[in-house]
Amino acid sequence: AFLRASSDGAARCVILTGTGPAFCAGMDLDELRATLGPDADKVWDDAAQLSSLYELIYTLPKPTVAAVNGAAVAGGAGLVTVCDLAVSVPDAKFGYPEVRRGLVAAMVLPHLLRHVTERTARWLLLTGELIDAAAAERAGLVNAVVPAESLMDTALGWCRSLAEGGPKALATTKDLLRRCSRQAVGVDELARASAEPRLTDECRHGLSAFFDKRRAPWAPGGGPGA
């Protein structure tokens, strides 16, 4: 869809939103658990594809707006950060709980740091805690919080405002913003850093604890019988 929009002269702006109660809850952990056996090679392919999607959205020459209709967690929060603007409903939640499963939020890290302070990024990435929409707005993760019934009207209004800009001027501005961001780690390295922890015993133990509804073995009070 983003590739089609990129090449469609009639498309001036792209809105990314979710269907159902969530914007995007991130990786399907049950699906990940199934890939840790004979299909472990799929882990690398999945990481590469998601990394490519983030890069496609982030470098799209046309403006993008995330209309966050519900929870935006892990990779879902990553989707919010690769869009140019973001508007959220009040009851949305944002966060990166990967470390609590023995995973690493590598691919989303540089995009998060473009929007929030390093102190906020460290809180989100190291604690795995979720924050509400009001906190996300204060942190700079979203531009505005509006009632649910106003979400799409607000996003469309922003798109109409963005369409007032010249297409080439917008594309050049986005390219300059990207080049000024000084990302030190390449997307391929980030994809590898995201995939490698998924093949560790730590990740396997974290996933097992998640599905067994118990604390991870490394957490205080955790262990096989916790």
* Model pLDDT, residue 21: 92
- Asked if 124 contacts 103 with a C-beta cutoff of 8 angstroms, the reply is no
Q: How many helices (H) and strands (E) does the chain have?
A: 11, 8
Give Cα separations from 137 to 82, 115, 142 (angstroms): 16, 10, 5
* Model pLDDT, residue 14: 98
* Model pLDDT, residue 29: 65
Among residues 98, 118, 189, 196, the one annotated as catalytic is 98
Please state the pTM of the whole predicted model.
Answer: 0.87
* Model pLDDT, residue 38: 53
**Spatial distance between the Cα atoms of 75 and 60, rounded to a whole number of angstroms:** 18
Coil/strand/helix, residue 33: helix
* Model pLDDT, residue 141: 97
pLDDT < 50 regions, the chain? 225-226
- Asked if 131 contacts 92 with a C-beta cutoff of 8 angstroms, the reply is no
* Model pLDDT, residue 93: 98
* Model pLDDT, residue 35: 61
Identify any residues that bridge with 73 across adjacent strands, giving them in sequence order. 95
Whether 129 is a known active-site residue: answer no
